Amino acid sequence: MTKALYVVAAAMIAISAAAQADWKTSEKVDEFDGTKTVFHKKTGTQGSYFFIRESQGSTDLFFGGRDSHICGDERGQVALLYKFDNSEIYYTRASLSTNRSSLFLNLGKEESRKWLYPTPEHPDLTMNEFIAKAKGSQTMTIRYHDSCGTQFTYKF
């Protein structure tokens, strides 16, 4: 029995390590002020990309792909759904980038959940929970439908 548990644990570690191997990490140091920024990137379907950007104690999550002009609501935001592997579906909203080609995730904010889906059975994740699930999963799926009627589903 102990040997079987060891084999299962080893398989889970191997899967987690394989999932994290899909992420490419790079660093950039600003030549003027010396600010260090770390990027973790995962590419997906349809030319999509997902970034975790860390700089000066701040973390940003953003993604984009084929949609070169994403239409937001009056607040410049888009509703979206996401899930990891075969997990439950989470709901949140994302803010448009300045060039309207990427979306920044707004995670773990009470106002986000109330604005989109007022039922507590569809919780949003916090930033740390999202990052842990994203790096530990084989597949992360994100779908959004913008105010121009465009819908995209990306798999990372």
Q: What is the CATH number of the domain that holds 54?
A: 2.60.40
Give residue 137's pLDDT: 93
Give residue 110's pLDDT: 52
Q: How many domains does one find in the chain?
A: 1
CB atoms within 10 A of CB 94: 26
Supply the DSSP string of 56-89, one letter for each residue. TTEEEEEEE-S-SS----TTSEEEEEEEETT---
Counting as low any pLDDT under 70, the low residues of the chain are: 1-21, 106-124
| pTM confidence score | 0.73
Range of the domain at 109: 2-155
Give residue 22's pLDDT: 85
3-37 pLDDT tens trace: 443 433 333 333 344 445 589 999 999 999 999 99
Residue 155 in tokens: 């798999």
